[in-house]
Amino acid sequence: MKKAIVTGHTRGLGAAIAAELHGRGIAVLGLARARSPLAGIDQIALDMTDPAALQAWLAGNALRDFLRDADDALLVNNAGVVTPVGPLAAQDPADVLRAVSLNVGAPLALAAAFVQAAPKAQRRILHVSSGAARNAYPGWAVYCATKAALDQHARAVLLDGDVRVRACSLAPGVIDTDMQAAIRATPDADFPMRERFVALKEGGALDSPEACAKKLVDYLLAPGFGSEPVDDLRT
């Protein structure tokens, strides 16, 4: 039996991933602050920017109970934020800590708890990464750094050598989501690359969340998943 955990499953790409997995008959547990209208999945209201709240939930039995009868267990670390945007002089340290908690702390803690909660299952961990993990952008110091951390995490997991645990940090491409809308609305002074993303939108180059989710789930379920710890859906 296949079971999947998806973070940030209520909007954008996360919602599309949860729906795609559910549509393929895979049991889904969604973790987010809000609830999704998607019927037939399990959901937990959890603020993953709060390390204490996440630690308290992981200390319970909910994750182990959900994965108890899974032969194949999947973790999709999708939740993340692009903020704070701007040079260091404009960044609120509280926003930096929030971004690091959500973009790095939560995925890495969930990965460890996930592997321990399903010791008999084949386990696959997919971090939703970004081209920003591999190419620096002005104004995105925090976003670039946190996504790069996921890439290195997946590389190190491969080196651990456990054949029952596979991980990949996968850049999905540019997707038509609320995050992209927020990027296009950012002042040029904070994000000098803004016009590039405006041009992508106006040129119809953005993938829909649903189209991207289908490709991402195909990738996640493919036999060779994890052989490349860092990859890009566009290549």
Structural domain contains residue 188: no
137 flagged as catalytic: no
Q: What is the value of pTM for the model shown?
A: 0.96
Q: What are phi and psi of 47, to 5 degrees?
A: -90, 100
- Strands of the sheet containing 230-232, edge to edge, are 42-45, 27-32, 2-7, 72-77, 122-128, 165-171, 230-232
Residue 19 lies inside a defined structural domain of this protein: yes
Which residues span the domain enclosing 84? 2-175+209-232
The per-residue pLDDT for range 122-145, each reduced to its tens digit, is 999 999 999 999 999 999 999 999
**Per-residue pLDDT reduced to its tens digit, 28-61:** 999 999 999 999 999 999 999 999 999 999 999 9
- pLDDT tens, position by position, 182-206: 899 999 989 998 999 989 898 988 8
Judge contact between 24 and 95, C-beta under 8 A: no
Reply yes or no on whether the pLDDT at 65 is more than 90: yes
Q: Do the domain assignments include residue 168?
A: yes
Phi, psi of 123 (to 5 degrees): -120, 135
In a domain, 196, yes or no: no
Let me know if residue 215 belongs to a domain: yes
Overall domain count for the chain: 1
119 inside domain: yes
pLDDT of residue 154 exceeding 90: yes
Provide the CATH number for the domain around residue 169: 3.40.50.720
Catalytic residue chosen out of the listed positions 143, 191, 197, 225: 143
Tell me if residue 175 falls in helix, strand or coil: strand
Answer for the pair 133, 151: CB distance below 8 angstroms, yes or no.
yes
Q: Are 12 and 30 in contact (CB under 8 A)?
A: no
Query: Is residue 83, in this structure, part of any structural domain at all?
Result: yes
- Provide the strand spans (E) within the chain: 2-7, 27-32, 42-45, 72-77, 122-128, 165-171, 230-232
Q: Is the Cβ–Cβ distance between 2 and 22 less than 8 Å?
A: no
How far, CA to CA in Å, does 171 sit from each of 30, 93, 130, 134, 234?
Answer: 21, 27, 4, 10, 8
Is position 182 within any domain?
no
pLDDT of residue 205: 86
